């Protein structure tokens, strides 16, 4: 009997040691592996950022009437401006029509914009037939030929005809001469208030013509 008791006691002790080993340092069970895997990120955890505003956003519609008048508008180009006209776009908005002249190169463009009795091409002094009964002469400053800037010049459809717009009828770009780019805006009448301003990145000159007048 004493020998049998010792064998039983040894069996019990061995079983206890085996259980202790599994509990402290044995291989993890599948359920333990699952609990250590990081949960998949939820939609709410995904970082979100607001869209980065661009200069184009400033070309959206604005409340009308904005300050504008019939008087000539002039602004000198920046010192050393070397620019080439790369694009001309138009847009009809609630209360006004818009023309945007875009440039490539360095510096900021200037302008001289005014109503004229007739559109006279420079330097040929040829009188042009511009659509509408009102004409805005737009002289863009700080402009150089592509050979100087190394930037291809705008070669889009010219003139741009907009018979369906409320006020704007035509944009006619005549080309550059002695650091200036001449264009004419044909309007339905010559009594619409207008404003001119510049935008950057890329460089642009914007002409807005209100529908009222």
Tokens at 201, concatenated: 């990145």
For the chain, counts of helices (H) and of strands (E): 3, 12
**pTM score over 0.75:** no
Contacts of 13 (CB under 8 A, 6+ apart): none
**The pLDDT of residue 21:** 39
**The pLDDT of residue 35:** 37
One pLDDT digit (tens) per residue for the chain, 213 residues: 444 444 334 433 443 333 333 333 333 333 333 333 434 433 333 333 333 322 332 356 677 889 999 999 999 999 999 999 999 999 999 999 999 999 999 999 999 999 999 999 987 789 999 999 999 999 999 999 999 999 999 999 999 999 999 999 999 999 998 999 999 999 999 999 999 999 999 999 999 999 998
H-type alpha helices, the chain: 2-25, 30-36, 146-149
DSSP 107: S
**The pLDDT of residue 160:** 98
**The pLDDT of residue 18:** 36
Task: Count CB-CB contacts under 10 A for residue 138.
Answer: 23
Buried b vs exposed e over 160-186: b needs ≥16 C-beta within 10 Å? bbbeebbbbbbbbbbebeebbbbbbbb
CB 208 within 8 A of CB 98: yes
């Amino acid at each position: 009997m004493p020998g049998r008791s010792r064998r039983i006691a040894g069996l019990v002790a061995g079983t206890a040691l085996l259980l202790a080993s599994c509990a402290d340092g044995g291989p993890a069970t599948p359920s333990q592996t699952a609990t250590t895997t990081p949960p998949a990120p939820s939609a709410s955890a995904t970082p979100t950022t607001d869209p980065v505003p661009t200069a184009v956003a400033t070309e959206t519609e604005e409340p009308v009437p904005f300050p504008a008048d019939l008087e000539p508008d002039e602004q000198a180009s920046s010192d050393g401006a070397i620019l080439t006209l790369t694009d001309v776009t138009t847009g009809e908005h609630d209360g006004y029509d818009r023309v945007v002249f875009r440039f490539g190169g360095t510096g900021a463009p200037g302008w001289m914009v005014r109503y004229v009795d007739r559109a006279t091409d420079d330097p040929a002094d040829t009188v042009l037939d511009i659509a509408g009964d009102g004409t805005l002469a737009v002289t863009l400053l700080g402009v150089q030929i592509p050979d100087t800037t190394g930037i291809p010049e705008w070669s889009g459809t010219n003139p741009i005809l907009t018979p369906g717009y409320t006020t704007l009828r035509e944009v006619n770009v005549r080309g550059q001469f002695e650091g200036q780019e001449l264009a004419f805006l044909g309007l339905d009448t010559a009594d619409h208030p207008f404003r001119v301003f510049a935008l950057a990145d890329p460089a642009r000159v914007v002409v807005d013509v209100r529908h009222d007048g």
